[in-house]
Every structure is written in C-alpha cells, then in structure tokens.
A and B are shown apart, each in its own frame.
Chain A
Amino acid sequence: MEFWLVTNNEKVNDAYADKCDVLFVDGTDRDVMKTIRDLVHEGHSLLTHPLSGSLKPGETPFRSVLVDKSKNETVDPFSLDLIETCIQALQKFRVRYEGLSERKLEDFRHVDLSIIESAIPTAMADRTRVVGVDRNGA
C-alpha cells in the first residue's frame, strides 16, 4: 500500500521521513484536517481514523493520519463522511493547547507518534489493490 503520512508533528516527521512519504503540514491540527479533507475530495481514501485515540479534540496540537495514495475515480463516501464528522467534532471542542510548556508539547508529540506507529506496519504490509485505481494519480 502506498500512502502519505500527513502530520504536523515534527517527531513523526523525524521518525518516518526516510521510511515513507510524509506530507508535513506546518500548521495546527485543524490545518492537518483540512489537508486531509482536500485529499479525500480529490478521490483519496483515509487509512486511519482522523481523531487521535481518545485524546479529546482541542487537547492535543498534533495530528497524524495515513491517506491512501491511490486515487479513486469518484470520492470515497466513507472517507468523506468520516473526515466531515471529525472536523465537526473538532469544532465542537475549544482549543486547549495554546501556551503549553515544551515538556507538555513533547509528551503530546510522543503520544501522537505512538498512535500512528501502531498503524504504519499494517499499512506497509497491506497488499490491497483496488481494480480501476490510477496508481500514478496525484
């Protein structure tokens, strides 16, 4: 499975930049969500859930999501529904992470890394190939 690792977490970028294709977003968790939403609108499917574990929206500034590089001819309805619901969920919670100390930020980076680490080996081992997909797309 060829995938993008979309993240705004430097620690994830450092750990995976040479192992897979990282799309680093220099911005907030909301910016990551918007990047993912745009990819879904272009026909890509989500491989991981955009809400991170049971960390509450607005609690952690970091977000890492895997997106399938192969492009569907039409928008994947499941991915579209999921990303829209997640963005709504995010908007429901107020941002709590502003002004966090470096030590607290480092903890959040570490947990975000750990959550996405649990999915990357599965994505790398995933041999699913969907007929009709344009592998050179995007």
Chain B
Amino acid sequence: MRLELGNIDIKEIRFADKSEIKDGVLYVNQEEVIAQVLEDDLIRDAHLEIAVPGESVRITPVKDVIQPRVKVEGPGGMFPGVISKVDTVGTGKTNVLRGMAVVTCGRIVGFQEGIIDMTGPGAEYTPFSELNNLVLVVEPEDGWKPHDYERAARVAGLKVATYIGELARDLTPDETVVYERANLRESFENYPDLPRVGYVLMLQTQGLLHDTYVYGVDAKQTLTTMISPTEIMDGAIVSGNCVSACDKNTTYHHQNNPVIEDLFKAHGKTLNFVGVIITNENVYLADKMRSSDWSAKLAEYLSLDGVIISQEGFGNPDTDLIMNCKKIEEKGIKTVIITDEYAGQDGKSQSLADADPLADAVITGGNANEVVILPPMERIIGTTDFVDKIAGGHDGSLREDGSIEAELQIITGSTNEMGFNKLSAR
C-alpha cells in the first residue's frame, strides 16, 4: 500500500464571501458552512470562530479536533463509513491542511470536555494551541437524548472538516510525504535481519462519551482486527469520545498518530514495521478477555518480535492495557506500553489502576493529577459554565477573575497516550 500525503501549509484563516485557499490563507464563507451544519434537525444553532496561536483565547468545552484532508487520488473518500462511502482508503494521494484544525465545541452532557488555551501556561500543555483553529460552536435543539446529540455534534465537525478539506483538492502541496508498505511476505523477505514490530492501538469503547468508530462501525461491537496505518491517515478511525480531555484520542490524533509516524521512519532501518492491530476497551470483562486474547493471537500469528501498545483513557482501560501487555509478553513478544498517570496531586500514589511485573517497559504521557492554574483569557469560545464539571475541575475551580485552578486532565491532549504531547522529564 502506498499513500502520498500532500501537506498544504495554512498560515491564516479569514472569513470571506467565497471559501477558498490562496497563498496559504484559508478563506471561509461562514454562512455556507453553517447551512450544512444546520441541515441536522438536532442542531438548533451553530457559528464559527477563529482562534490563532498566541491570542488570549480559551476554547471550551472541546469535543473533537479534526484535521481537514481530501482524497485526491485513489479509492474512497475522507471519513469512510461516516461522511464518505465505506470504500477502503489508504492508497493514492491525500491532501492535508497542515497547521490548522477544525475544533468542535459545545454542550453534550456538559462535562468531560476539555480546554484549549491559545496562550499562557495552559497553551504549553496542548499541541492544539499551535494550530490555526476554526472552531465550530454548536447548540443542541432541546428534547433530544445526549446519544443523538453526541452523534450530531460529531458528524457536524466531520462535515465541516470535509468541506474545508475539499478546498484543497486542486492545490499543489508544499511538501509531499510518501508512506509505503509491502505485503507481509515481501516485508519479511526484504528485511530478514530486522526485528518485526507491530503496534496495538487501543480504542476507547464504553458507551456515551466513550466511543470510537472504525469505518463507521462502533468499535465496541468489533473483535480485535488489523488495519493499514495509511487507512487511519485517511480518516478510517474517528473519535466519538469526549472523555477525558487529557488522554482521549481526538480524530486529529488518529490522523496524525505519532507512533505510526515514528514506526514508518524506522521501517527498513532499525525495524520492520509489520502492521497495526486495533482493539477495543469494553466494559464487560469477558469482552476485555476476548479482545486481549485476540491481540496476543494476532501478534503471534504475525510473528512479531516486539509490540508497542498505546492506551486511551484511564481506570477501567488500565485493565485492558495490562491484559494486552501480559498476554502478548507471555507469547514471548516484547512489549512497550504507552499510558499516562493518575498518581495524585503530589505524584506519590500508584499511577495505574492495574499492574503486572511483565509490564516492565512503560512510557508515560505525564501525571494528569498535577495542578495547573490557567489565567483568565480575554475571549472565551464556547462557555465556561461547565468548567467545574470537567474532569479535573472541581467546585470553585473557576475563580471570579476567570482564572481556573484545576488538574492537568482538564486540558485537551495534555497527557495523550500516543505520545502526541509535549510533557517530558529530565
């Protein structure tokens, strides 16, 4: 499979009469975009706002972050099974709007959704503060169930990202990056002496606010399976997950998965990147056992020497993480797990809700209980009505002057378990 990603740098976003991209500037006709969003009866009102890096702006509550992309050559379209038909994606050419994102923001059930500060100490914890953000603020119609409204808000964001991506269809990329993988037999023949490494990507799948979709299918209803990394780049996995801000994988994270990016970079040099296994994180214990058994079976079947496992979420999914790790290790395959920590505000408590001696190689995204103080911002996109309810916030966390005292878990992407964050230790 060969996919070319054509990166088109977006340096600025402006509202205009005509939607287009010219000289790195994205011009957006707001009325045209909003008309598409309001086609859904569940959405009463919507508007767009622009947030620029360095600006005194706070975006909250954030539901999803999405990178606009468009399929230029090859089968399928963006977000297959949700926006486009379910054709298999991941080959041909895709144009990517680099340096920007569509951020969906608005009330679902009012908590769990995070904060993106575009400046100040909070901005340093989220990679999304460095992007030009086109923020879609949606208001639900009264009387609908949260499930229906979550779907409406999720699809609205994907629609807007697809609309914006479409503007880049005929543009010449600033840079093209090629991702190519041979089939299993060829890759074993090509690199007989390199260690065979796979990636187990865990997807949060536990119910309202906790779901992930693969080609439009709710991943809690699937068995552990394989997917090409380039399919993921073309939007085959989308987030329906609102929990918790710091360690949920937004759609943007899936599109730009840093584990996949690094495995491609190392492929053929220090290792043979054999493939990606996707598995779920269900509530039912028998599901956890079945799914982790399947991860281990596939890893063994692929004759892997090593596996990287990335988690999504905290608590309940710690059990899935440890089951995956332990069962794969017991097959004689070495693992490295990527997680984050809830080690208490002083960092002294046990970090995970589950553990095993076989989990002896761990990468952490940071301690989500660490306390941060976010100064007031001049402009709020969305509402801070829910800050007290957001994970990591607490009563009194929103102060009268507009500043917020809360744990790191309040910030979108701050302790991401794919390693798509900026925390490090010395």
Tell me the A residues contacting B by CB distance below 8 Å: 46-49, 51-57, 59, 66, 82, 85-86, 88-89, 92-93, 96, 98-100, 103-104, 107-108, 110-111, 114-119, 122-123, 126, 128
Contact = CB atoms under 8 A, between A and B. Distances in A.
B63 interface: no
A54 B220 contact: no
A99 B284 CA distance: 31
Interface stretch (B51-59, B253-261, B296-304, B342-350): B342-350
A59 B204 CA distance: 19
B342 to A, nearest CB: 7
A54 B210 contact: yes
Contact of A47 (B210, B248, B285, B394): B285
Q: Name the residue among B146, B210, B220 with the largest chain A CB count within 10 angstroms.
A: B210
Contacts of B287: 119, 122
Contacts of B208: 110-111, 114-115
B288 interface: yes
B207 A117 contact: yes
A54 B283 contact: no
Given A110-B208, A114-B209, 6 more contacts: A54-B317, A107-B389, A108-B111, A114-B146, A114-B207, A122-B286
A82 B210 CA distance: 21
Contacts of B391: 54-56, 59
9 contacts: A53-B206, A54-B244, A54-B391, A56-B314, A89-B315, A96-B394, A111-B208, A114-B208, A119-B284
Contacts of B109: 107, 110-111
Contacts of B247: 54
B75 to A, nearest CB: 33
B409 interface: yes
A122 B210 CA distance: 18
B207 A115 contact: yes
Instruction: For the complex of A and B, list the 7 residue pairs with the smallest distance between their C-beta atoms, beginning with the closest.
Output: A114-B208, A54-B313, A51-B315, A118-B207, A115-B207, A114-B207, A107-B109
A53 B285 contact: no
B204 A56 contact: no
Interface of B: 109-112, 146-147, 204, 206-210, 220, 243-244, 247-248, 282-288, 313-317, 319, 342, 344, 349-350, 353-354, 389, 391-392, 394-395, 409
B316 A53 contact: yes
Contact of B243 (A54, A98, A99, A110): A54
A49 B283 contact: yes
A85 B344 CA distance: 15
Nearest to A128: B286
B395 A54 contact: no
A82 to B, nearest CB: 7
B111 A49 contact: no
A84 to B, nearest CB: 11
B222 to A, nearest CB: 13
A119 B205 CA distance: 11
A84 B315 CA distance: 13
A89 B316 CA distance: 11
B425 to A, nearest CB: 21
A53 B286 contact: no
B283 A119 contact: yes
Q: Name the residue among B208, B209, B285, B395 with the largest chain A CB count within 10 angstroms.
A: B285
Q: Name the residue among B109, B283, B350 with the largest chain A CB count within 10 angstroms.
A: B283
Contacts of A128: 286
Contacts of A114: 146-147, 207-209
A56 B318 CA distance: 12
Contact of B316 (A49, A92, A98, A103): A49
A99 B344 CA distance: 22
